Structures are given as structure tokens and as C-alpha cells.
Amino acid sequence: MTKDTKNPPIDRVDGRMKVTGGAKYFAEFEMPNTTYCVIVGSEIAKGAIASLDTKKAAGAPGVLGVFTHQNMPPIPGWDAPVQGNGNGPPPGPPSGGEKYRILHTNKILFYGQPMAMVVADTFERATYAASLVKATYTKQPHQTDLTKNLEKGVTPKGPRFEDYLRGNADAYKSAPVTLEVKYTIPIEVHQPMELHGVLAGWTGDDKVMVYAKTQGVKGTQKSVAEAFKIDPNNVHVHTEFMGGGFGMGLRTWPQEIAVVAIAKKVGRPVKLVITRNQMFSLVGHRPTTVQTINMGADTNGKLVGLSHAATGETATYEDFTEGTVSMTKFMYACPNVSTKYKIVPLDRGVPIWMRGPGEATGAFALESAMDEMATKLKLDPIEFRLRNYTETDPEHNRPYSDKNLKEAYQKGAEAIGWSSRKAEPGSNRDSDWLVGYGMSSGTFNASKGGATARAVLNADGTLLLQCSVTDIGPGTGTAMTMIAHNVLGVPVEKIKVEYGDSALPNSPQQGGSTITSTVGSAVHQVCTSVKKSLIDMATQSGTPLAGIKADDLTVADGFVSADGDSSKKVAIADLLKKANLTTLDKTEESKANGKPDEQKYSMYSFSVHFVQVRVNPSTGVVRVSKAVSVADSGRIISPKTAASQMIGGVAGGIGMALTEEAVIDHRFGRIVNNNLADYHVAVSADVPHTETIVIDKPDPYINPMGAKGMGEIALIGFAAAVANAVFNATGQRIRDLPITPDKLLRTA
């Protein structure tokens, strides 16, 4: 089978495990004598602990230890970087602030910062004891409001974040039609359904078992090994199933390291499952970001100039950066483009990439502005995009490896019924509701990293695949199965995939829409190697296939057979027997593609989102009544799980557009809606039936499968499609997410 064949939809290979409760997540593994850890967080945003009374907690029933900065067991690698998760040390703080080390000093750098970790023999006892820890503080004034600190913005180090300019930065000003607008997004928080935490137990003086909630077991292994200055081979990390990540598992969090240290001290395994409240302060968030777009176009609808400036938050103790302005540099044909990106250190916990990451933030601004300009030009928003369509990447002056965005626009428009859209905003009414249509595009870098995979073909025709990659939900195991099936012809039900364990061959962390490309390439390569060995064995002299070229042979269903003459075939089992082998066992490393800047082609995945909204002008309620998302991300390996990624992006996008906002009470520097009743993620009633369309054409350059990622593009741009549809329905342009009823009623 070749990459030119579309793949059939197959059921998720771990489906049965997930529907029976058999899939085990980190907190569900049994370690004898496990103890329970509960974190006591600070009640101020900045200052110092003046006093910490742990006596009552320490004396409470079942308590094995109350750990604070005063008695925390040493972590030998504290002075070595422990937080880079395999990507090197974290960048230093931009403002010269100090690094954050958990339970290290009495200084408080953000609200909810762990002050004490209480360990007891049951969860209930640990929780009760934690309630007895009392602190007094020396408070210092804190800064948690980005909008009041914009002037403190600094440009992060590194070429990716330098100010960008092509042509003339001021060109937009003299264009016939101009637009100068500001967009803001609030703090959003990942909130996967599984609570974060870790379960760790030492099995020797320098050996530890860690059940983690991580998007990369190898990264966690490295972090723990560095923190405790032990051999990485002595750190066993397991995360076969992860109950959602969306980016929050892309690093090892300080409390994970603390639990490993405490487990050593108490001499028993320690389980930490943080509370849903703590999920708002201890494991990152999408940073609130303020953006301005300045755009100029001529009367023919051609962009003359485009400027995009973004300022997002980071922590005082660590830089956080993302590609907020990336898309603006290459998405449209425009001779004059400038971008600026800055970060502002605040007295808050550090952000972490959240699905789509900065690109989703940036796309909200850019794709809203494109809609605003189309309105000024009295052009259909699709037509405006087509007039500025580019077949070559204007940032790097080179072709895209593959881009089918025009086809995506057309297919999406047909599916949503774009022809029903009325150009005049507010003119489409259905009884009490105003109806509107909106669209947007998204894009994200497509890459291929390095990974290693093992394939073991058994005489009984079954195949075992191994790689340490974590499957946080997109269906990595299913995609790997499909790739192996395509190369070796082993029926999917005879393929077993093992993953999510640091003892397995190397994989990067699951993030940045790269795993199908990266690990998929390794699986493809090792299976191709197995296939080559089989063919070599099958074509030796004296066999029915002797002398036949490899290209004229097919490996499928347990046989190597000659194309066009099915009578000429050899059973794989016989080949192994003849060679005195019980298995054919190979491990191969697939190399990363070179640096993006050194490539001949620009490689991106693209998406187009269409929505129909219904807005009630009396209440300001917005309902997304139809949604269509189109993905142009190369060959689709696993159509069923890929479609689920796309509909998941729609649900996440509806939340981003309409409901999600973590609200800080700046008097105290804390998030007040730190639970799922008050921080509104989309629920079933918010999400309509969602149609997904895939272009499904192989990218000829990225990897042997022609497959590109789609996890990010499923979300990137979606919020703009909703905002644009709300404008079409009502004539009201909301530039400040989320689009809540109060904003529509205020501007009505």
C-alpha cells in the first residue's frame, strides 16, 4: 500500500480500555503503602511567609510529615535546571527576578504557591491535616493586571521573537482603506478532565518509579534524574494514558519534583492529586494577551500593509513565550508587514502553551481584522482572503510544501451553506433570533522531529510496536497501527502498540502537532526495514520468489507474494522458521527534518472554520448553531480519530469564543472563578452537531506518509469565526473575548 491511498476509518485501538474503565491513569496505579499528599497554597500573591504553624497538622491522625521551606528534604539538583523538560534550561526571568524553587524559601511569588505539602496515610486525613496549617504573611504590593503593566513589556531573547519587518512598517497608514484595532483575550486555563499530580515511590537508594501526568515520559525522566542527580535509567516514568493535556503536561512542574523528594524522605510512595481549584494556579494557563492590528488595503481588496503587535503575560520568575504573531508573517500576500511581540512579568504563576498556543491567540486578532477589513471593503470575507492568497511563503520566499486552502474554503462554504449569508449585518432574522455566518482560517507549523521505534514481527503474524510516546487523546496508538498496517500488511487487529513508558524507545513529548509526523516516521521506517528483511529472505535462491524485484512484491496478511501472480507466495512464518528465528525484531531511529529555516519548502497545516450563530438581541445570548471545520493537513492516517480532533477543536473554540475567562480579583491577585462551575468550558448543550472535512492529500515533502499535524489547527482561528459570525448576525464587533451577553447588550 502506498501513501497515495486514503486510509479507512478504524476504531480507536484503545477504545475498549477506555469504555470499560480498564485504562489506567497515573493516580490509579497500585503501589504498596501509598501515602497521600495535599498542597497548602499561599493566600497572597507577593511577599513572604511571616509564620507558618504546622504543629496541629503534624499532630493530626495519620500524618507522616508536613513539608515546608523549613524542613524540605534536599533536592541535590536544585541548582541545576530541573524545569526544562528535555528542552534545556528554562530561560531566565526577563526582569532579573529570582527563580522559583518550590518550598525553598519563605518568599511568595504568586497566589496559590505551595507553602506546605502534607502527607498522611489516607487522602481524607491528609486533606483534614492540610486544613490545620495556618500562615501569616508579610505582604508586598503585587502586579497581576496585564493592562496596567503594558509599558513593562520586554522583547524576549531569541530570533523567533525579534521584531519582524518586511517592506515598510508604516505602509498601511497611507493605504486607501485602513483599520486600526485592538483585541484582547483573557486568561484561559487548560482544565483537562483528569486532575494533575504524580505518584512516586523509591525502589532503591537511587531508583524511583514515577507515574506521571506528562505529555512526555522522557522529559519527566530527564527532569527527575537531573533534580536528584541520578542516572536517568534509574528513573522509570509511566504515562500510558493521560486524561487530557492541551499543553499543561509539556513540562515537569515543581510540585512533581517535590513529591519525588518527599517520597524518599517518608520512605513510602506518595500520591499527589491536586484539587480543581489548584488546577487554576499550579499548572499554567494561556496568558492574557493584548494585541493591535493595523491594516491597510487598496480599493481592489489587496493588502498594502499589515502590522501586528502582541503583549502577553509571563511570571516574574520565568520567561514564557509563544508564537502569537507568527501567522501574520506568512499567511497573506502583503508586501509590507511588521510584527512585535512582548512579554510582561507579573506576580502570577507562569503560563504554559495551551492548545493552538500563541497562534490561536494571534489568529483571533488577524482573522477578526481580515473580517473587519472585508466589511470596510464591502467584500465577501472569503473573496477578500482569495484576493490576498499566496502560493509561496512571503516570510521565507519559498513555496509551501503543500497548500490546498482554496479547496478548503470552497468545501467549507458549501457545507455551512455560505450562500445563505447576508452581507448586511443584522439583516437575517429567524423569529426572536438574529442569524449570522462567519469564517476564518488557521495555520500551524508542520514539523518532523526525531524518534525511535521498535517493531517485533512474530511467527504467528502478530506485530508489536513500541515507542515511549504518550497518547494524550488524539489517537497516537491508532495512527501508529495504521502506518504499520500500511507498510507490513498486518491486519490492524493483530497489531499491538505499547507506549507511554520511559523504558521504551525515545520519543519527544506529545505537543505542537508533530507526533503523527515524528513517531509515525519512525514506525514507518522500522516497519519498512522489517519488510525489506522479509523480502530479502523471501527472494533467496531456491524460493518461489527468487529473482523477483522487491518492487514487484507485496507483503500482506502473513505472506510475501508476487504482484500479479498470487500463486507465487511464501508464508512469513515459514521464512522465520527457515532462518531459525522466532521473531523479526528491529529498532530504528528516524531523524528530524532540518531546521525550518534551512528547508526548501515551508511546511504548514491549514484549517478553515465556518460557523452559523444565532444571537438573541434581548438577552445577548449567542448560540453556535452549526459548525464546519476543514483540515488541510496532508494525508489523514486515521480518519476517525482525526475527525474527533477536529470536533474537539470546535468545542474548545466555542469555549474560547463565548465562555472561557479566568477572572482575577486584582486586589488579592487571585482567580476568583477557580472551578468548573464558574469557569465555563463548553458543555454538550453549547456544541452543535459538528461537521468535519479533510482535504486528505499527502504532503510530498514532510515525511514518508505525507501526513501533517492537526491538533493545533483544529482550534486556531475558530474563535474569530464565531466573532465574525456574531458581527454578521448583529453588526456588533466584539474584540474582547469571550463574547458574553453583557458585552453585546452594552454595545447594542
Residues 646-705 touching other proteins, rule: CB under 8 A, are 647-652, 675-677, 681-690
Q: Which of 474, 505, 511, 558 binds other proteins (CB under 8 A)?
A: 474
Among 173, 640, 697, 733, binds other proteins (CB under 8 A): 640
Please report the DSSP string for 659-727 in residue order. Answer: I--BPEETTTTEES--STTTS----GGG---EEEEE-----TTT-TT-B---TTTTTTTHHHHHHHHHH
Q: Which residue, 266 or 534, has its beta carbon nearer to other proteins?
A: 266
C-alpha 739/C-alpha 748 separation (Å) is 13
> What is the pattern of x (binds other proteins, CB under 8 A) and - over residues 350-389?
----------------------------------------
CB of 259: closest distance to other proteins in angstroms? 17
- Residue 498 in contact with other proteins, rule: CB under 8 A: no
Helix axes 217-228, 254-266, angle to 10 degrees: 60
Write phi, then psi, for 132 (nearest 5 degrees).
Answer: -90, -10
Hey, how many other C-beta atoms are within 10 angstroms of the C-beta on 422? 14
State the first-to-last Cα distance of the chain, in angstroms, to the nearest integer: 58
**18 grid coordinates:** 477506555
Does position 194 bind other proteins by CB under 8 A?
yes
Q: Please identify which residue in 27, 456, 515, 560 interacts with other proteins, judged by CB under 8 A.
A: 27
669 phi, psi to nearest 5 deg: 70, 25
- Residue 147 found at the interface with other proteins (CB under 8 A): no
Give me the least distance between CB of 738 and other proteins, in Å please. 16
Kindly tell me which of 2 and 20 has the beta carbon lying closer to other proteins.
Answer: 20
Should residue 195 be labelled a site residue for other proteins when binding is judged by CB under 8 A? Answer: yes
Q: Compute the least distance from the CB of residue 344 to other proteins, in Å.
A: 20
Residues in 599-638 at the binding interface with other proteins, rule: CB under 8 A: none
Instruction: Select 435 or 624, whichever has its Cβ closest to other proteins.
Output: 624
539/547 Cα distance (integer angstroms) = 6
Which residues 6+ apart lie within 8 Å of 473 measured at CB? 242, 244, 245
Q: Per DSSP, what are the bridge partners of residue 183?
A: 291
**Nearer to other proteins among residue 195 and residue 327 (C-beta):** 195
Q: Are 692 and 629 a contacting pair, CB within 8 Å?
A: yes
Per DSSP, what are the bridge partners of residue 607?
A: 442, 631
Which three cell numbers, joined as nine digits, stand for 714? 483544529
Q: Are strands 114-120 and 47-53 parallel, antiparallel or unpaired?
A: unpaired
Residue 480 CA to chain centroid, in angstroms?
19
Residue 600, helix vs strand vs coil = coil
As measured in angstroms, the least distance from the Cβ of 644 to other proteins is 5
Determine, following the binding rule CB under 8 A, whether residue 1 of this chain makes contact with other proteins: no
What nine digits make up the cell of 270? 506518595
Name residues contacting other proteins, limited to 102-131 (CB under 8 A): 122-124, 128, 131
How far apart, in whole angstroms, are the C-alpha atoms of residue 54 and residue 589? 51
The minimum distance between CB 209 and other proteins, in angstroms, equals 18
**Closer residue to other proteins, CB minimum distance, 225 or 242:** 242
21 sits near other proteins (criterion: CB under 8 A): yes
Q: Angle at the Cα of 241 (from 500 to 27), degrees rounded to 5?
A: 110
- Strand 63-67: give its sheet, edge to edge: 63-67, 114-120, 35-41, 270-273, 197-204, 207-212, 235-238
CB nearer to other proteins: give 135 or 327. 135
Which span sits near other proteins by CB under 8 A: 45-53, 73-81, 589-597, 611-619? 45-53
Q: How far is the CB of 264 from other proteins (least distance, A)?
A: 23
Within 218-247, the residues that bind other proteins by CB under 8 A are 241-246
Query: What CA–CA distance (Å, rounded) separates 190 from 416?
Result: 29
CB of 689 to other proteins, least distance (A): 6
Nearer of residues 62 and 86 to other proteins, judged by Cβ: 62
Distance CA 690, CA 411 (A): 15
Site for other proteins, residues 434 to 473, rule: CB under 8 A: 472-473
> CB of 412: closest distance to other proteins in angstroms?
16
Indicate the residue among 282 and 382 with the shorter CB distance to other proteins: 282
Question: Under the criterion CB under 8 A, does residue 598 sit at the interface with other proteins?
Answer: no
Figure out which of the listed residues 8, 61, 158, 267 binds other proteins, where binding follows CB under 8 A.
61
Q: Given candidates 19, 150, 165, 503, which one binds other proteins under the rule CB under 8 A?
A: 19
Give the one residue of 644, 663, 697, 733 binding other proteins; rule: CB under 8 A.
644
**SS3 per residue for 285-352:** CECCEEEEEEEEECCCCCEEEEEEEEEEEEECCCCCCCCCCHHHHHCCCCCEEEEEEEEEEECCCCCC
CA distance 30 to 28: 6
Contacts of 71 (CB under 8 A, 6+ apart): none
Determine if 200 is a binding residue for other proteins (CB under 8 A): no
Of 138, 233, 299, 566, which one interacts with other proteins (CB under 8 A)? 138
Sign of the Cα pseudo-torsion (303, 342, 344, 658, in order): positive
402 counts as binding other proteins under rule CB under 8 A: no
For residue 134, the minimal CB distance to other proteins (Å) is 4
Q: Does position 141 bind other proteins by CB under 8 A?
A: yes
Residues with catalytic roles: 712
- State the nearest-atom distance from the C-beta of 83 to other proteins, in Å: 24
Contacts of 660 (CB under 8 A, 6+ apart): 186, 188, 189, 679, 680, 681, 737, 738
Q: Decide if residue 431 touches other proteins (CB under 8 A).
A: no
Which residue's entry shows cell 512585535?
340
Task: From 100-108, 136-144, 222-230, 723-731, give the range in contact with other proteins by CB under 8 A.
Answer: 136-144
139 binds other proteins (CB under 8 A): yes
**Bridge partners (DSSP) listed for residue 423:** none
Distance CA 736, CA 720 (A): 11
Supply the minimum distance, in Å, between the C-beta of residue 683 and other proteins: 4
Judged by CB under 8 A, which of 136, 582, 618, 747 binds other proteins?
136
Q: Please count the residues of this chain forming the interface with other proteins, following the rule CB under 8 A.
A: 82
Segment 542 to 581, residues that bind other proteins, using CB under 8 A: none
Q: Which amino acid is at 101?
A: R
State the Cα–Cα distance between residues 172 and 168, nearest whole angstrom. Answer: 9
Q: Which stretch binds other proteins (CB under 8 A): 9-17, 154-162, 365-373, 415-423?
A: 9-17
Among residue numbers 269 through 328, which ones bind other proteins (CB under 8 A)? Answer: 273, 275-276
15 binds other proteins (CB under 8 A): yes
Number of other CB atoms surrounding residue 328 within 10 Å: 27
Q: How far is the CB of 408 from other proteins (least distance, A)?
A: 20
Place of cell 514532510: 702
CB closer to other proteins out of 141 and 564: 141
